[in-house]
Chains A and B, each alone.
Chain A
Amino acid sequence: MTQQSSIDQTRRLRVVFVGHVDHGKSTLIGRIFYDTKSLPDGKVEQMQAACAAENMEFEYSFLLDALLEEQAQNITIDTTQIQFKTAKRPYVIIDAPGHKEFLKNMITGAASADAAVLLIAANEGIREQSRRHGYLLSLLGIKQVVVAVNKMDLVDYKQEVFDQVVRDYTAFLKEIGMEARQFVPVSARNGTNVALRDLGVANPMPWYTGPTITDTLDSFEPPKSLTELPLRFPIQDVYRFDDRRIFAGRIEAGSLKVGDTLIFSPGSKTGVIKSIEVWNAPEKTSAKAGESVGITLTEQLFIERGHLASHQTDAPIESNRFKARVFWMGKSNLAIGQRTKLKLTTQELDAEIVSIERIIDASTLEALPGDRGYIARNDVAEVTIQVRGALAFDNADRNALLGRFVLLDGRQVGGGGIIFGGTYSDRTQPKSANIFWSEGNVTPEQRYARNGHKGAVVWLTGLSGSGKSTVARALERELFNLGIQTYILDGDNIRHGLNSNLGFSPEDRVENIRRVAEVAKLMAGAGVVAITAFISPYQADRRKARTIACEAGVDFYEIHVAAPLEICEQRDPKGLYKKARTGEIKEFTGISAPYEAPESPEITVATGNQSVAESVAQILVFLRQRIKVDAEFEI
């Protein structure tokens, strides 16, 4: 076997290059490539020839900007990942763009970096994105930063200019709890202090004797192993390709071994590891952070994707509500109460922002008023998030991988956040204190919290032709669009099934309404907003319906769909009034039988003189307040 060299191939350092647009990122990277001899033979000559052919001056940045459009616009479009080597180790360079519109690409690149090179052009000084990118680096948890004060050639290599940038930017970094490892005065174009000390010309900055950019990179630490942290093994999938039931996933932190007892959060199910499954490899009895593994358990448990396995001591936090620092880059704003999806490792839950504590202008660090009710593209904010169901996580300062999540914008990732301030509870004594919300009977409150709203019975009453069904359908659609579980009970789905044995005799009418009330109560108890649309002409019947609901602890709202008889008769959508007038239908409400209007309904919608949309809006304003749930569940 041949040993290549002393270069430690195992430790590639991922470096992101950030900074204000036109401060020289691509040029610096091109220069690093050139000076470390990491380019294919002839590449520079080829580019120079191409430039000459098009009458352009050759620039080092062209080495990276391989895409036509980029050369045309002279800006970097997307993160590019390329590798170079110093004498010490290999690097993966992530060239993050500086254009304001490209925050998502900067985050995409920077989120996976171990270290950052932040460029500030000496002739322009600190600009908006110099600060914004610095702030985002702190948010992404990147602590190893070298600041390249570039374009020193444009300020005649003056030390005062460099010192001023150092002073100003150090002060800024301090405010956000960061510190640069090194400030390096650089001329990327000329190669000064980039990678080579001897460029064959006199050193234009003899006043600087510190390390070059690549020297500083070489002094950075490789990513730390997470094996020493408590075990976090998110279940990615469960496979049953043969008689084995394999729980697959990547160990994000800690280690596990055969015989260990695991606890699966959310919940308190425990299981013992029977085996670590491998294919075409020697038998394995332990595994550690970073490994993608499959395990089997000694007993059958219902575990699925999204469960987070840990040891019983040092289990994660379990909650449905937490504080987080988020950044948003979605195409539209994210408003308080707007339903989105949250993904944290393999967990995926419906989520919403319930309050915005403050919005931070990432370039000035000024707090914007949080009461504007939404976060916009490129915002950074401190918020409280609520999810449907329980989320297992860590505070980001304890375990970064389990303390960060993304929020979706449609199908795509729209933003990210890190969690702070959650409280760990002692999971080793679950039986003594009833600390798991996920234990015991399911309470209505838990059900409501899962749905994000309470159940209720919305009882529409009114004459035939008053618009009950129309209003009910429009209301159902609106509620549904708001993410609310809802269902209509009306003659169509009740008379033909549940009540098919009932006719229209007075007794049967009473029984009809009673059964509708019972079904609506059950649905509301299950968390649904059940809308009923029946004439229900008698006070007594409606009072009975209300009693049935209230005795079960279900909210009941009576809504009088009130249109004058003349209008209803004029509309006569099913031709029933006509038949009633001719006597073809007997005991028709409003003609040959009484309609007892509600004395004190929760709402009256005057469908005779307002539109369906107006009526629905009136009901929605009333209803939304009352079915809202915003309390954290009791645990």
Chain B
Amino acid sequence: MNLDFRDHPAYSKLYPAPVPNVPPVFFPEKIARGDAAHLDALEAQSIFLIREAFHHFKKICMPWSMGKDSNVLIWLTRKAFSGHIPYPLLHIDTTYEFPEMIAYRDWAVEYHGLNLIVKINEDARAGRGAYAERGPIGYDTTDPVTVTHELKTVALQQVMAENQWDALITGIRRDEDPTRAKERYFSPRTKDFEWDYKDQPPEFWNQFTTSCAPGEHVRVQALLDWTERDIWMYIQKEGIPIPQMYFARKGKDGNKYRFRSLGCWPISGPVESEADTIDGIIEELANTKTSERAGRAQDHHERNAMQKLRAKGFM
């Protein structure tokens, strides 16, 4: 099977391509909802965490998937540092990004003035070096869990080794997945990226594990307490520009579709949705009982796939 983006059934048949030459960015109308007052506390805690990370670690980086959560992270960073972003951002490019998302990336780099590092595990894609025997890693040849591990986690390990970062500010949330529910705000990882979820350090009263041995790193999970709904309400309250792919477009079959979670295109499916505004999305969330990552194939490939991926270093 030879995968070609143009053949992607969901994207080409259900979710039409964007208008050419227009940045695929959605600028939400700023609305302060009556039920959004709790966002102030979430924002204050996240800014506090980001500032703690920046104070305690020498070489820090913020992975950026271009998705809604990581755009909220950029926003919170700029709030924490009076408009500045005092560390580099990292995009782990699996080479399976939606072209529209790459266009968004280029736009955002310009808009926020990002110092962006783009990392691809080239050897894995080309099937050379350590991958010479196995051949190229990709969705056409390999199962999605392995692809995620090799093109995301291993790529991250490579770029961490190149840059010697001692902390990563991540945008994972407790409500995304049961394994993430058990995370700490400051979560130490071994040299091999292992997460010892059975023996995590105590963390309370806003005091964290703020140092690590050489070669190890700490994941600072600044959005841990947020829910998917909080993220959307905050994007709306602040008017944070985000990719247009989160919003419904009319497909060829006459129904409207949007992406609830954006990952690699071969494994990200759109969901049927009328939501073409943030209010629409928030309303939709209030009535849904399917999980956010239901559209992501790698999570469902086998039982406990997420658990295994995360123990090996996946975000």
Measured CB to CB, the closest approach of chain A to B102, in angstroms, equals: 26
- B residues at A contact (CB < 8 Å): 31, 33-38, 40-41, 43-45, 47-48, 51-52, 54-55, 78-84, 86, 174-175, 178-179, 181-182, 184, 188, 197-198, 200-213, 225, 227, 238, 279, 282-283, 286, 289-291, 304, 307
Determine which residue in A12, A277, A292 has the highest number of CB atoms from chain B within 10 A of its CB, and name it.
Answer: A292
Interface hits, A1-49 → B, CB 8 Å: 1-5, 7-12, 39-41
B80 near A248 (CB under 8 angstroms)?
Answer: yes
- B44 x A280 contact (CB < 8 A): no
Does A108 count as interface, using CB distance less than 8 angstroms? yes
Query: What residues on B are CB-neighbors of A416 within 8 Å?
Result: 204-205
- Contact between B52 and A112 (Cβ–Cβ < 8 Å)? no
Contact check, B204 vs A111: say whether CB atoms are below 8 A apart.
yes
Chain B residues within 8 Å of A250, by CB: 44, 47-48
Bound CA–CA A279/B81 (angstroms): 8
Give the contact stretch, choosing among A204-212, A236-244, A456-464: A236-244
Known contacts A291-B40, A343-B207; A236 and B202 CB within 8 A of each other: no
* Nearest A residue (CB) for B213: A411
A353 interface residue, CB < 8 Å from B? no
A427 within 8 A of B: no
A239-B81 in contact (CB<8A): yes
Tell me the number of A-to-B contacts counted with CB atoms below 8 Å: 152
Indicate the size class of the contact surface on chain A. Answer: 35 or more
Chain B nearest CB from A614 CB (Å) reads 35
B35 close to A108 (CB less than 8 A): no
Q: CA of A244 to CA of B52 in the docked complex: distance in angstroms? A: 20
Which of A92, A236, A343 makes the CB contact (< 8 A) with B51? A236
Instruction: Pick the 9 closest A-B CB pairs, nearest first.
Output: A66-B178, A111-B204, A412-B201, A292-B47, A104-B202, A10-B37, A41-B289, A9-B35, A292-B44
- Rounded to whole Å, the gap between the CB of A448 and the closest CB of chain B is 28
**What B residues does A78 contact at CB under 8 A?**
182, 197-198, 200
Contact, CB under 8 Å: B80 / A292 = yes
Query: Within the complex, what minimum Cβ distance (angstroms) separates B105 from chain A?
Result: 21
Contact at A3–B34, with CB atoms within 8 Å? Answer: yes
B interface footprint on A201-242 (CB within 8 Å = 1, 0 otherwise): 000000000000000000000000000000000001101011
Nearest A residue to B291, CB-CB: A40
**A290–B283 CA distance with the chains assembled, in angstroms:** 29
The answer to whether B38 touches A11, judged by C-beta atoms less than 8 angstroms apart, is yes
- A82 sits at the interface (CB 8 A): yes
- Which B residue sits closest to A106, measured CB to CB? B202
Contact: B55 with A236, CB < 8 Å? yes
* B290 lies within 8 A of A81 (CB): no
Question: A294 interface residue, CB < 8 Å from B?
Answer: yes
Beta-carbon contact of B204 and A108 below 8 Å = yes
Q: List 18 A-B contacts (CB under 8 A).
A: A9-B35, A9-B38, A40-B291, A41-B289, A67-B197, A68-B304, A80-B181, A81-B174, A81-B181, A82-B174, A108-B204, A280-B79, A329-B202, A343-B207, A411-B211, A411-B212, A413-B201, A413-B204
Give Cα A46 to B151, complex, Å: 31
Q: What residues of chain A lie closer than 8 Å to B206, measured between beta carbons? A: 345
Identify the closest chain B residue to A241 (Cβ): B84
Checking B80, B198, B209, B279 against A69 with a beta-carbon cut-off of 8 angstroms, the contacting residue is B198
- Interface residues in A287-307 (C-beta closer than 8 Å to B): 290-292, 294, 305
Nearest residue (CB) in B for A345 is B206
In the complex the two chains form, what is the Cα distance from A411 to B207 in whole Å?
11
B224 to chain A: closest CB distance in Å? 8
A77 within 8 A of B: yes
Min CB distance B221 to A, Å, is 12
Known interface pairs A111-B205, A411-B212, A413-B203. Does A79 touch B182 (Cβ–Cβ under 8 Å)?
yes
Say how far A19's CB is from chain B's closest CB, in angstroms.
Answer: 19
Q: Flag if B307 contacts A68 (CB, 8 Å).
A: yes
Partner of A406, one of B38, B51, B205: B205
Residue in B52, B197, B202 whose beta carbon sits within 8 Å of that of A108 in the complex: B202
The residues in A between 483 and 520 inclusive whose CB is less than 8 angstroms from any CB of B are none
Max chain B CB contacts within 10 Å: which of A41, A305, A406? A406
Q: Is the CB of A290 within 8 A of B207?
A: no
- Given contact pairs A1-B279, A104-B201, A237-B55, enumerate 9 new A-B contacts (beta carbons under 8 Å): A4-B35, A64-B178, A66-B179, A112-B204, A242-B84, A280-B83, A292-B44, A294-B82, A414-B202
- Taking CB atoms, residues of chain A closer than 8 Å to B36 are 9-10
Does B35 lie within 8 Å of A10, measured CB to CB?
A: yes
